[in-house]
Chains A and B, each alone.
Chain A
């Protein structure tokens, strides 16, 4: 299995073999192609240019993490229900003191206390609410960023800022930046996989590679169906043998590259070439990677039932196989967008994430993967401590909670504070750009130096902002 510890073995590019060159017997190239199935390691993208220097060629720092799992609560969870207790809400329930008089997307009324109790968890004692009893047991792994904030209170722009580092729908997603910057650890699978049981709002723009080469785009998989064959339509070719298809794909690639050499450079075509090769290898690796039936009963029980549980378990399997960036969207549309009947919805939502998250942390730790896998949890924004229509909560971009775990972050701590009511981040504020900068840092990348020149200027994931949160980056 292509685990994290494997050394890189660059695969000679077929172009180097030369179209009109001696033409080694087809069987040889075929064998070579099949051969890389076994090793399954290579590097593409910018990192490929440094192939000789190994995986860290591009790295600006010593990396702590090798990959990221982003547990994305699309719609925006309410921070005050989970990791940011605000006892004063009770006292001022129904009132609207000046600190709570902030404008959000819709009009909200007085303060609405969260009914859920908090207790100190783990040896660190950071408070986690009763909604997440099992996750609470993993509190010592969590680095809770209570003071995250973003620019815009609407879903579309906030989704884009969190995923693409900008509200403009024309920039590469963070997964694409990572894939491009670090290359793939496993040429048999896409380096960037997006799991969602349905379609999130804004859909594929959230994992676009934009102007980065097309091969770094997220591969979206609707994992609401149970088996690899249904997850990935047309994964297997029943009629063609593996060896034969290898020969075929080999030839297609060579003809394509020949075509590319005749018509001039084309990033999209390059991307499609790589996609074709990945696709071929996926036929053999994806059935394995996406097959949850291979897990023991004990493991499956550890994660529990439901789409999110399957997503977390798939994320672990993909982590083991060296996928660089794995996003698990909570659900179709924006399930966390609780404009009404918030408390009841929050309970249901919390129940469906608690066990899977706890299991993922535990499982990665047991397998020795947690230290090299950075987990990021959160939504595109938070929700208001004030009520909307009595029982709902509106979007809140002023302050909300995200947390990091694994990947070299300091666990068992909270960072930053919101105001007395948990509305606005007031201390050690963490803008989304800061979050991105910190994430890149943990992966060994300097967010100011990870640039791509396009249309006459250098672009970055963090635009012209972002600071690394040195306090949360473990020593």
Chain B
């Protein structure tokens, strides 16, 4: 089986290694060593045999007890050469039981390399990219390199595509939308020698550019609108998507973009936008299933951040190093957890509320909130004053009782304050009984008054102790007087309160029934008072004591938070409980209104999960997870960049996410520019120069045209990491402009166009298919940004049992937005996406493997959305004054069409019209499915004919392809 690998590698290698060129280590030798030798003589210490490493030059060239593995310049003396050529099954390398064998060519390469001096190097992608000497700059350089490459293979560039094809290609590639026919005509007939460049500039400047290229980023970022896992509840991520679109449209250079995405919060004086950017790494899934260990899923999310970062920027698959040192690439398990330690220092912890989040107020909301908050604090202090003055009036004749002893049955602490009020703190039982002993002076005693004091304290704003519902329930009140050393029960009558909750009157506190009582909702955030008369007024000749038992048996901690007792000498009849003055009531009403507006303002605001660093003294300790198990911690590791992948970048001690971002984008890093240049290339050509876009490591594919890849990598970095400039260089090349038509010879020599021997031709992506169809139908809404939308999908796909979330087919313009804005639920993506290879956003998707199945044809043929598009196009055709079918076909294909094509469609239209005329009920169904109004001038069957023609056009392969 290994042979299979080898035959493929050889095919590539042979095309490289010609006799007159020295063998190159990274390109020619290392692939042989890594696929055949490193699993036993490589970085994984637990697998190492005979203590020999062939992945390190110093070790491989050192004389060991058993011999000299690689004697530079002397192949015959090298143990490696002896062993690979040995006929003895006990000695031959690789050993027979490894099922690996070297071909004669591979052996020859190794021998030649040693004989030539065994010049060491690293894996090709770890060597700095070099733009070869003498290559013209910009687009011309691409042409020069590809032409040379092709001519070495007896091929040449194809002639340029015609201008119609070119404008459609450019528009689809750069904006994800087709041009209009009139734009195409203007372009074709332009005699401006710089027409192509002008067109490219126009397209790059459109806002649709950012929307289209954001899709690539969303795949990389594992973006979705839900949290994933079993419950898969919704989550607000769209503001990040909008930020991304804007960043791309502003052409934020990749190095800055990287800093924002990975560490925007760590930038000096980070703005809200920079913090919002860090939501990139909050796209990780979180698990809300009952009984799951938050730490487990937090650690999975952190690992995902490490893996995604390495994949997206450096094209390395780090996954294996979670459990053991990477077998092929220089990433040890300690390296992995060093990176993990860097990403392990954020506050998020798989919590239900996704904290920490960023509240996204727009400018006017921000201004309004400031104003409201100012008004709120002003009203609060005025209300306080007003209440104090009310109380002073009410206090006429009342004497505050001072606390002597207090006890709480539930263990709360009761403390007397200077103003005579008693504050309850400490433990907060569900129910409580306060027993108070209060000093009583000589004099007459006719009534008692209980005042519940409102106001902020201990996080509670109200009269009760439960912050969620600061109400109280006074279930029962008992009063005793100390008379001659004996406690004597006093009878209370005619209780009255300033306010009573429905069904909870003050009389309930005196009826001996603990299930009834006095409560004050919904006005639990205001002060209240109650007056109780003694059935018989008393005259005390000596000071005494009162004992009050306040039973509060309701539960839910509906107990008094702060209160005051006072007595009155009488007469009791006219005494009223606390009365708010009109002024107080007015202030209270205004405050309530302000607070309601504030909470409404904040509740409507998007809260986006973001990265937020833990404080310096709260940093997490990181340990290696043995075998990847977070419950099995091993050695402690400090935040560190992986030693062999630093490429000389110095981050100092304890690097942060910001240092990691700078390392990825540093001038020394050979991988990032290659990986990104390859990725952008692949988005245009349909496949990368390195086909395994996701793996630039030892097991990845080799670049088809390494010099071209390096040229582009250097170009991208030197041009300040500007995506727009790189794209411009790419699309203005003659290589890009080639016709995609295939000849028999090309089909034979380069069947999959890996050599770039012609223009690229491939089926459009799910989103572009949708957008193009909508655009041609005239229904496309270009409304930008905002929450995701729900274009129609088959009923019953969403089977969410937890939250009653429903897919409600959008009406109006939201039904026809760009595919970018379609709601993505991780466990149930829209079928248009899944059928056409879109991802689920669960993990980073480096590339979409293009598939081809009958199910795709069914979507375009039968999806109601397609039919609605056909309806739109039919309507547009029917509104043309002449050549309606012809114009419809042109509108879709963006080229002049042939009379025979038009004739065939027109015949279909006539036939279909005839069928519909015989079955009028069918045309009614078709028109209603297509959601389109019949123009007055046409009969139903005539118009139905147009719809079928439009649908046929939208199903043409030429329409569904980029070519």
Q: Name A residues whose Cβ lies closer than 8 Å to a Cβ of B.
A: 19-20, 26-27, 103, 106-107, 151, 161, 166-171, 190, 204-205, 208-209, 211, 214-215, 217-221, 229-230, 232-241, 243-245, 247-249, 251-252, 254-256, 258-259, 262-269, 271-273, 275-276, 278-280, 282-283, 431-433, 454-457, 463-465
Contacts and interface: CB of A to CB of B under 8 A. Distances in A.
Contacts of B796: 230
A279 B855 contact: yes
A126 B656 CA distance: 62
Given A255-B904, A279-B855, A465 B952 contact: no
6 contacts: A170-B701, A220-B853, A240-B948, A259-B958, A268-B850, A433-B1
Interface stretch (B5-13, B124-132, B288-296, B530-538): B5-13
B742 A280 contact: no
A232 B853 CA distance: 12
B2 to A, nearest CB: 7
Max chain A Cβ within 10 angstroms of own Cβ: one of B4, B746, B762? B4
Nearest to B2: A151
Contacts of B751: 211, 267, 454-455
Contact of B5 (A168, A259, A265, A272): A168
B4 A168 contact: yes
B607 to A, nearest CB: 31
A42 B459 CA distance: 78
B741 interface: yes
B774 to A, nearest CB: 17
B368 interface: no
A267 B8 CA distance: 21
B855 A219 contact: yes
Given A239-B929, A278-B854, A269 B957 contact: yes
Pairs of residues from A and B, 7 with the lowest C-beta to C-beta distance, nearest first: A264-B742, A279-B857, A239-B929, A279-B854, A237-B862, A214-B852, A233-B831
A107 B44 CA distance: 14
A233 B794 CA distance: 7
Nearest to B952: A248
Contacts of B856: 272, 275, 279
B915 A161 contact: no
A164 to B, nearest CB: 10
Given A247-B908, A275-B852, A241 B919 contact: yes
Given A166-B4, A271-B852, A275-B856, 14 more contacts: A234-B794, A234-B862, A238-B929, A241-B922, A248-B912, A251-B904, A251-B905, A259-B958, A264-B746, A268-B850, A276-B957, A278-B854, A455-B752, A463-B7
B867 A239 contact: yes
Contacts of B957: 256, 259, 269, 272-273, 276
Nearest to B922: A241
A234 B859 contact: yes
B616 interface: no
A52 to B, nearest CB: 25
Contacts of B901: 255, 258
A149 B598 CA distance: 68
B908 A251 contact: yes
B862 A236 contact: yes
A259 B957 CA distance: 8
Contacts of A266: 742, 761
A251 B912 CA distance: 12
A456 B11 contact: yes
Max chain A Cβ within 10 angstroms of own Cβ: one of B99, B859, B905, B958? B958
A252 B955 contact: yes
A248 B946 CA distance: 12
Nearest to B848: A204
A304 B4 CA distance: 42
A239 B930 contact: yes
B831 A234 contact: yes
Given A208-B851, A235-B858, A235-B862, A263 B11 contact: no
Contact of B911 (A26, A252, A254): A26
B47 to A, nearest CB: 7
Contacts of B18: none
B912 A244 contact: yes
A234 B792 CA distance: 12
B900 A19 contact: yes
Contacts of B835: 233
A215 B852 contact: yes
Contact of A465 (B3, B740, B742, B793): B3
Nearest to B747: A265
Nearest to B963: A263
Contact of B925 (A171, A239, A248, A264): A239
Contacts of B627: 106-107
Contacts of A241: 915, 919, 922
Nearest to A433: B1
Contacts of B831: 233-234
A254 B905 CA distance: 11
